[in-house]
């Protein structure tokens, strides 16, 4: 089937009106990015990129998004496995809850996190009373926001990768005496490797770009909770050069992620 | 198929991340068939008063519809520089309106306000002087430095010798206020008028009220209609001033 699709590619005849709409669609997406690039101060790019405020934001963003992605993998792999192979009567109800943060407005995510973990939150209140610890305004809060918005991507992609694995292979291994854990580590997970990588990269990119939930839940303090998207927002009003430099860096990351996912997935799934 | 699905997701993810929050806008629906529409950009701290003033203005001027966009003055100034359609700009500081001198002409002071240290009425942390902010167990926040409420806070805090750091530099005063009302912070530097409007809050003045003060300015764009000029006059006249003073603002300096 895939071969057929490939053979047909390039042969479609579009009527002019349709092609015009396609072009308009492309321009809607491409022009803003082009406009952004024209405003980046390329001459002083490096100088601005290594200025203190940009480096601080870069540091916070890189560290928190990587930790968010690692934790998303640790928790998301078992969850994706359960959704792919667990009893449908239950996964039917669990799946929408797991995916919901993906389509939630970031401000709603921020309020949800505050309501749970804030000083007056459902859990946060007891933690604060018992230990004096409150999560908002900490780097941990940035990481938690990243997990909340990023992990659904990993679970979604990995679950579908697990489903692609022929269940016969797992059954055969089990028949031959392999314990379930061994089947998972030696067969299921290796076969879903590309899904795992793609999901982890998506979860990381989503955590890196998070703005609304982080601002509401973690606040914005340079070196502690101010991530690159928040630095862009703050600098747009005072120091536009650095706003555009940080935007360009985030844009480059976004493009790299898209290309990486594309080649990575085609390599694995088009065999 | 999977490839396409994942690509779609990627694009989707990047789209979500670009959602910005905290530009609160309020729109008044016209009471009558409107021929004229004026767009007002107003500082976040004017949310209640300007909503009320514009309602009064619309009643007094049938056929004119006022649309207000509230946000941090620095954000609004930036939007104006980028060519946002605006007839009237009311900023929380003179410097914010002067930064758009090419677009907004003839600015006039129309009110004064000052930042104070706000805390919950019950005062669980027993805040009695500004020095209490230096207490390590106390969590407090303020506006970011380039926003008028942040600039005033920086000056007032320096005069009072507060050396501790805020836990967050928020993009506008409403964002600061929301976190205080939610109970996530012990104290916050907000405007006196914000405390006025919230019965659950009390405030403590800085020792130097002059350094804590900010002057609100209003001006019209170059191509503004006569209705926009009327709106500015309405704010400067008793009709607007009584609303502002009732909300705790001070009259502008003469």
**What is the sign of the dihedral through the CA atoms of A246, A250, A255 and A257?**
positive
A156 at B interface, C-beta within 8 A: yes
Predicted confidence (pLDDT) per residue in A32-73, tens digit: 999 999 989 999 998 898 888 899 999 999 999 999 999 999
CATH fold of B113-213 reads: D-Maltodextrin-Binding Protein; domain 2 (3.40.190)
The closest CB to that of A254, out of B14, B19, B145, belongs to B14
Query: What distance in Å separates the CA atoms of residue B228 and residue B219, rounded to the nearest whole number?
Result: 9
Predicted confidence (pLDDT) per residue in A125-143, tens digit: 999 999 989 999 999 999 9
Predicted confidence (pLDDT) per residue in A168-180, tens digit: 888 888 888 888 8
- Say yes or no: do domains B2-112+215-246 and B113-213 share a fold: yes
User: Which residues, including other chains, have CB under 8 Å from residue A43's CB and lie 6 or more apart?
Assistant: none
Query: What distance in Å separates the CA atoms of residue B155 and residue B152, rounded to the nearest whole number?
Result: 5
Tokens 């933690």 found at: A127
Q: Which residues of B touch A102 (CB under 8 A)?
A: 12, 16
Is residue A263 pLDDT above 80, yes or no? no
B201 is written with which tokens?
């809050």
Cβ pair A205:B145 closer than 8 A? no
Cβ pair B16:A206 closer than 8 A? yes
3-state secondary structure B37-90: EEEEEEEHHHHHHHHHHHHHHHHHCCCEEEEEEEECHHHHHHHHHCCCCCCEEE
Q: Which residues of A touch B182 (CB under 8 A)?
A: 114, 118, 120
- Indicate which of A160, A219, A222 best probes the interface with B, i.e. most B CBs within 10 Å of its own CB: A219
The whole-number average pLDDT for the span A14-33 is: 91
Is 0.90 exceeded by the ipTM? no
Cβ pair B10:A212 closer than 8 A? no
Which of left, alpha, beta for B99 (phi over 0: left; psi -120 to 50: alpha)?
A: alpha
Cβ pair A210:B168 closer than 8 A? no
Q: Where exactly are the structural domains of chain B?
A: 2-112+215-246, 113-213
Quote the pLDDT of residue A130. 94
Q: Where exactly are the structural domains of chain A?
A: 63-225
CATH fold of A63-225 reads: MetI-like fold (1.10.3720)
pTM: 0.80
A233 at B interface, C-beta within 8 A: yes
Q: Which residues of A touch B168 (CB under 8 A)?
A: 137, 218-221, 225
B5 is written with which tokens?
């699905």
pLDDT: which is higher, A263 or A53: A53
Q: Which residues of B touch A257 (CB under 8 A)?
A: 10
Coil, strand or helix at B253:
coil
CATH class of the B2-112+215-246 domain in this structure: alpha beta
For residue A95, which phi and psi values (nearest 5 degrees)? -55, -50
B74 at A interface, C-beta within 8 A: yes
Q: Exposure pattern of A26-54 as b/e (b: 16+ CB <10 Å)?
A: eeeeeeeeeeeeeebeeeeeeebeeeebb
Q: Which residues of chain B have pLDDT under 50?
A: 1, 3, 11-34
């Amino acid at each position: 089937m895939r071969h057929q699709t490939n053979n047909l590619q390039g042969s479609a005849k579009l009527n002019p009106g349709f092609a015009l709409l396609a072009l308009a669609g492309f321009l809607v997406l491409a022009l803003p990015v082009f406009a952004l690039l024209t405003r980046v101060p390329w001459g002083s790019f490096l100088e601005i990129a290594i200025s203190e405020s940009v480096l601080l934001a870069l540091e916070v963003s890189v560290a928190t998004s990587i930790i968010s992605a690692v934790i998303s993998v640790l928790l998301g792999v078992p969850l994706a496995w359960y959704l792919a192979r667990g009893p449908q009567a239950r996964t039917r109800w669990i799946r929408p809850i797991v995916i919901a943060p993906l389509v939630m407005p970031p401000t709603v995510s921020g309020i949800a996190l505050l309501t749970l973990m804030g000083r007056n939150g459902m859990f946060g209140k007891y933690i604060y009373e018992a230990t004096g610890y409150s999560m908002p305004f900490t780097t941990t809060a940035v990481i938690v926001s990243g997990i909340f918005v990023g992990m659904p991507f990993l679970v979604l992609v990995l679950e579908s990768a697990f489903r692609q694995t022929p269940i016969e292979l797992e059954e055969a291994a089990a028949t031959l005496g392999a314990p379930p854990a061994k089947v998972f580590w030696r067969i299921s997970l290796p076969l879903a490797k590309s899904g795992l990588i793609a999901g982890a990269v998506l979860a990381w990119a989503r955590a890196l770009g998070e703005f609304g939930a982080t601002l509401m839940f973690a606040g914005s303090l340079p070196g502690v909770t101010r991530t690159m998207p928040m630095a862009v927002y703050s600098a747009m009003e005072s120091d536009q050069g650095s706003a555009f430099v940080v935007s360009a860096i985030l844009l480059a990351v976004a493009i790299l992620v898209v290309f990486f996912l594309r080649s990575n997935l085609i390599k694995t799934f088009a065999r | 198929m999977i490839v396409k699905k994942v690509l779609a997701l990627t694009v989707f993810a990047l789209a979500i991340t670009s959602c910005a929050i905290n530009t609160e806008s309020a729109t008044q629906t016209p009471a009558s068939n409107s021929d004229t529409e004026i767009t007002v950009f107003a500082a976040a701290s004017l949310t209640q008063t300007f909503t009320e003033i514009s309602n009064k203005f619309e009643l007094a001027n049938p056929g004119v519809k006022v649309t207000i966009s509230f946000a941090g003055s620095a954000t609004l100034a930036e939007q104006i520089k980028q060519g946002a359609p605006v007839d009237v700009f009311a900023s929380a500081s003179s410097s914010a309106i002067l930064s758009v001198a090419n677009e907004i002409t003839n600015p006039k002071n129309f009110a004064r306000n000052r930042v104070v240290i706000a805390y919950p009425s019950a005062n669980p942390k027993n805040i009695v002087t500004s020095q209490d902010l230096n207490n390590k167990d106390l969590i407090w926040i303020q506006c970011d430095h380039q926003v008028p409420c942040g600039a005033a806070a920086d000056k007032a805090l320096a005069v009072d010798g507060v050396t501790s750091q805020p836990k967050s530099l928020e993009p506008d005063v409403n964002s600061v206020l929301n976190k205080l009302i939610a109970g996530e912070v012990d104290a916050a530097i907000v405007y006196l008028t914000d405390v006025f409007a919230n019965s659950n809050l009390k405030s403590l003045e800085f020792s130097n009220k002059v350094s804590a003060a900010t002057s609100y300015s209003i001006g019209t764009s170059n191509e503004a209609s006569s209705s926009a000029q009327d709106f500015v006059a309405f704010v400067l006249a008793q009709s607007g001033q009584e609303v502002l003073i009732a909300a705790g603002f001070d009259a502008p300096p003469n």
